[in-house]
Homo-oligomer: A and B are copies of this chain.
Amino acid sequence: MQEYDIIIIGGGPAGLTAAIYSARAKMKTLIIGDMVPGGQTMLTDRIDNYPGIESISGMDLMMNMYKQVETLNVPVVTKKATEIIQEEKGFIIKTKTENFKALSVIIATGATYKFLGAKGEKEFGGRGVSYCGICDAPFFKDKEIAVIGGGDTAVYETVHLLKYASKIHLIHRKDRLRATKIMQDKVIQSPKTDIHWNSVLEEISGEKTVEKIRIKNVKTEVSSEIKVDGVFVFVGIQPLSGIVNDIVTIDKKGYILTDQEMHSSCKGVFACGDVRAKALRQVSTAVGEAAAAAFSAQQYVEKLKGEAYL
């Protein structure tokens, strides 16, 4: 079985940054991820708030990071890690076909979208129901669509969808949006947006593809129908912490708890990026945490090997 100092699970901004720092510290490093480069960033149309780069597509930013990883000759296994087993000294990381050994593990598996659980949601998945505006917006050019949610992601994705759709019904169960004001304004001020406050999605229906939705105002208890060709659901994300949630402490929502230097509750396991319990999920924060996680993992490995330089 191949042995590494540090195995990084995940190939988004956190995983790639951890690899850059780990490899530069001459740690024997491996990345395992089912998509590398990957992560939510790959699906982000435009990033204007990554410090040092005025404006870049998520994909280009990720390709730049991946190039840095390649320059450092970090090997990548493009498989899904399925299990982590804690050994006396180190860990075994399993994939479907191969196992790997590491003295320490950095979890950078990120997060993914949440399902709403509305009637028809599963049935019309891929037939008008989508969880990724960046991926599917072009299918709804000049069409009327619904967006469910009012948080950061819903608002951000609505701004993007407005470039395509002829009209957007924003269905939000609260009476105000939750996002940065600069983005909120773009949604609220667009003549193409129709916001349905205090409303929830009850049902999605149609023949072969989505044709209409039924929503209910939770204050008036009045239900109404809207004809739409598509439904975008942005009701939050959930951490992809399943692979370690039996060996590290997680919060109620499943995010991995760490200290300031990214140590999880399990010695030798570190976490960074969207999978970590924190307030702000951005490329910038993922990158900062990943550098710190790699440094902590390096110190851990050097101590294990009796090579600590302090």
Binding site for B on A (CB under 8 A): 13, 16-17, 20-21, 24-26, 48-54, 56, 61, 64-65, 67-68, 71, 176-182, 259-261, 278-280, 282-292, 295-296, 299, 309-310
Contact = CB atoms under 8 A, between A and B. Distances in A.
26 contacts: A13-B51, A20-B51, A24-B48, A24-B182, A25-B181, A26-B181, A50-B52, A51-B287, A51-B290, A52-B64, A177-B309, A178-B309, A179-B309, A259-B260, A260-B278, A279-B296, A280-B292, A280-B295, A282-B291, A284-B288, A284-B290, A285-B288, A285-B291, A287-B287, A288-B288, A288-B289
A25 B288 contact: no
Number of copies: 2
A158 to B, nearest CB: 16
Contact of A284 (B54, B176, B278, B291): B291
B261 A279 contact: yes
Contacts of A279: 261, 292, 295-296, 299
A66 to B, nearest CB: 10
A182 B26 contact: yes
B51 A53 contact: no
Given A285-B292, A288-B285, A295-B280, A52 B24 contact: no
